[in-house]
Amino acid sequence: MSAAGLVRGGSRGLKSTLRAVGIARVLLRHRLDELLESTVFGRWLWLLRPITPAHDGETGLPRGQRLRLALQELGPIFVKFGQVLSTRRDLLPPDIAEELTLLQDRVAPFPGEQAQTLIEAALGKPIAAVYTEFDLTPLASASIAQVHAARLHDGREVVVKVLRPGIRRQIRADVELLRTLASLADRHHPAADKIRPQEVVSEIEATLHAELDLQREGANASLMRRTWLGSDELYVPEVFWDYSTETVLTMERVRGIPSDDIAALDAAGIDRKLLAARGVRVFYTQVFRDNFFHADAHAGNIWVDATRPDNPRFIAIDFGIVGQLDRRDQYYLAENFMAIFQRDYRRIAELHIEAGWMPGHIRIDELEAATRAVCEPYFTRPLSEISLGEVLVKLFKTAQRYELTLQPQLILLQKTLLNIEGVGRLLDPKLDIWAEARPVLEKILRERYSPQTLGSEFRKRLPELITHAPDMPRLLHDFLALQVRGQHTLNMRSEDLAELARISKAGQRQTVYAILGTGLMVVAAVLVGLDAGGPRLLGIPAAAGIAGLGAFGAFLAAWPRR
């Protein structure tokens, strides 16, 4: 390495060391060394404690509040880290998780003239060529970006969001420091296997990098607007792509009342009861119909349209964090909710294992009993007092004792559900979330798995099925030939191996049914696709009969074998 490279590397190392010492002193001033007293960090911090006085008046504050104040003192990036960590209720104690949700992402603005220079560089033209008006005083300033009001040449009012200067470099440096701390935690923290520090840092890093791409945020907003265009329940502002890049985002300016400002909502004559019910329906529709939900749905990002007091709707802003589930998790989550509604604890236990969230060796009866212990106390209350989000949190925490494995998106959904229910109950303390959620879920599930929807999905996949159809007879012949030659035969001796043999035989039968069923359905699809239904039997087209046999074969393949 060159001398210049060594100097740069040494400079970075010195900066990281000084930053680490600075973080340690902030933690000590807030007397947070108690959180780390059983680790190597605690012993290191103990050495600095005599020369680091505590903040006045903080000694008696709860630890969660002291941690929140420390993160705010550490700066905007650590505020964002704390907000992301607040979503990980599976890892944090409840008192700390609740306090971190109160972190406010508001920081001192950078000069408006600097924002103008950044916008001109990103768009490649003078500010006057894009906007007839541009307010140098920002409307809002956060850790990642700040927002300015402007007006387009056609007279439309817009807001312009621009990334903070140097923010990418700052985030990269702080993430590198967190990686170092996480690797130390992996080696020395007694609960490292449960906390999984590296995974937490990766999740924080992914969230922050997603928010650094304003073009991605604009795409999120654009998709959600298209989905809810013309809705009486949710309004999403328009994105102006001609004036947007990765570092600048221009959107329609909207005005509304923050959804937690009850006094302003009442003064505007808003029907809060109707609004609260709509909020619940919007959330469940986004999750289970659209599979695309606003995952940062606190009151600062969810406003109320004050121009429609008798027919109120929400206005969504800030689309940096959105959530999606894969179709499998989406299905099993919906089925879990329906099982909770019906108090079918056995079904909840079965679904957790079927979904692959838990290993198959877990005993169903034990998991059912644990689920009953979590849910049953809730049903002694009126339904209007039950939080589905709280039930879900406790279910996941209980299931962790049985080796639960959850995707980050499920945890993100859990946090969003708690936010939505909190806003709903604030608007209408008597809101029966169960009564609002259940019909939405039932309707979506009926439509999702209706014959029409399944037929539509089949038609989409028809070209792929036709492409592979010529291979089906050969595959079926090869498989049956293997069976005839006995190459799948296994001699079992122990009870466990005998059970494995039984499962294997059932699987082989189901595979045959699946191949036969798929082959017949492909033949029927080809006939229909070619408009050649062929002869009829008792008035029924042959293609329909073949498809029916194929569906019956698929049904036999799907039927569980005990």
SS3 250: strand
Q: In this structure, how many other beta carbons lie within 10 angstroms of the beta carbon of residue 183?
A: 13
Q: How large is the average pLDDT for residues 333-353?
A: 86
Q: At what angle do helices 3-29 and 167-188 cross, to 10 degrees?
A: 70
Task: Kindly tell me the burial class for residue 260, based on how many C-beta atoms sit within 10 Å of its own C-beta (0-12, 13-18, 19 or more).
Answer: middle
Q: What DSSP string describes 269-330?
A: T--HHHHHHHHHHHHHHIIIIIS-EES--STTTEEE-TT-SSS--EEE---S-EE---HHHH
Q: In this structure, how many other beta carbons lie within 10 angstroms of the beta carbon of residue 322?
A: 21
Q: Tell whether the model's pLDDT for residue 163 goes beyond 70.
A: yes
Mean pLDDT, the chain, whole residue set? 77
Q: What is the pLDDT of residues 29-40, one digit of tens each?
A: 777 766 665 555
- What CA–CA distance (Å, rounded) separates 59 from 57? 6
Instruction: Choose the most confident range, by mean pLDDT, from 173-187, 242-256, 328-342, 493-507.
Output: 242-256
Poorest-confidence range of 103-107, 234-238, 258-262?
A: 103-107
pLDDT band per the 50, 70, 90 thresholds, residue 476: confident
Instruction: Choose the most confident range, by mean pLDDT, from 234-238, 360-364, 481-485, 507-511.
Output: 234-238
Structure-model confidence comparison of residues 196 and 159, the more confident one: 159
296 tagged catalytic:
yes
Give the active site residue among 296, 305, 318, 428: 296
Q: At what angle do helices 345-354 and 327-341 cross, to 10 degrees?
A: 170
> What's the predicted TM-score (pTM) here?
0.70
